[in-house]
């Protein structure tokens, strides 16, 4: 069955501006030997910025139409839910989860799965809208109206969930609208 993102895929990047590579680039701290996973990476809007800097870049997403756009950029794609990804343990040096945590069906299971496929000492960088801010609260309300199954969590609740999944999280940055968490796998 087509979901909201399948319907939006063709126009997604016209609606959502390109990412600022400076913040994510700094937090990712990529090396040419790295394998990078863009989890719930959609059209590859973000992975496309960093793919040339690493040995392997993979976009995993549950929407076939979003992934079609990523493939057009020449990116490697995997159709799967973040909750159950077809990768061996400790496959990736770096993982991105941008603007997607609130969309995940099972956030706790997804965090465990992201940490499973991350290498020890690897880094997961999460960018999320900051639900403590009014414009994000309004977005959350609109997404409920459009029957999207979004669930926005506060930074402190996200930090607790990551801790429970046995990652070591830091609230690395906030800009009044978004937050960035860096999670290290011990």
Ligand X SMILES: C[S@@+](CC[C@H](N)C(=O)[O-])C[C@H]1O[C@@H](n2cnc3c(N)ncnc32)[C@H](O)[C@@H]1O
Contacts with ligand X, residue ranges (CB under 6 A):
5, 40-42, 45-46, 61-63, 66, 81-83, 98-100, 103-105
Q: CA 171 from chain center: how many Å?
A: 16
Please identify, using beta-carbon distances, which residue of 68 and 174 lies nearer to ligand X.
68
Rounded least distance, CB 77 to ligand X, Å = 11
Please identify, using beta-carbon distances, which residue of 61 and 93 lies nearer to ligand X.
61
Please identify, using beta-carbon distances, which residue of 121 and 140 lies nearer to ligand X.
140
3-state secondary structure of 83: coil
Rounded least distance, CB 83 to ligand X, Å = 6
Q: Which residues contact 141 (CB under 8 A, 6 or more apart)?
A: none
The residue sitting closest to ligand X, measured at its beta carbon, is 42
Rounded CA separation 12/163 (Å): 32
Q: How far is CA 126 from CA 29, 63, 80, 174, in A?
A: 14, 20, 19, 12
Please identify, using beta-carbon distances, which residue of 82 and 158 lies nearer to ligand X.
82
Rounded least distance, CB 173 to ligand X, Å = 16
Strand residue runs (E) in 25-80: 35-39, 56-61, 76-79
């Amino acid at each position: 069955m087509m979901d909201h993102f399948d319907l939006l895929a063709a126009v997604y990047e016209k609606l959502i501006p390109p990412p600022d590579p400076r913040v994510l680039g700094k937090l990712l701290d990529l090396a040419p030997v790295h394998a990078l996973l863009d989890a719930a990476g959609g059209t590859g809007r973000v992975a496309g910025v960093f793919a040339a800097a690493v040995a392997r870049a993979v976009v995993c997403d549950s929407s076939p139409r979003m992934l079609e756009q990523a493939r057009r950029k020449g990116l490697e794609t995997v159709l799967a839910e973040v909750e159950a990804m077809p990768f061996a343990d400790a496959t990736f040096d770096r993982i991105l989860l941008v603007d997607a945590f609130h969309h995940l069906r099972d956030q706790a299971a997804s965090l465990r799965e992201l940490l499973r496929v991350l290498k020890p000492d690897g880094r997961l960088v999460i960018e999320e809208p900051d639900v403590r801010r009014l414009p994000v609260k309004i977005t959350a309300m609109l997404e409920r109206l459009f029957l999207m199954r979004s669930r926005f969590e506060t930074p402190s609740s996200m930090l607790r969930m990551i801790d429970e999944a046995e990652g070591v999280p830091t609230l690395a940055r906030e800009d009044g609208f978004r937050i960035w968490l860096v999670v290290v796998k011990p």
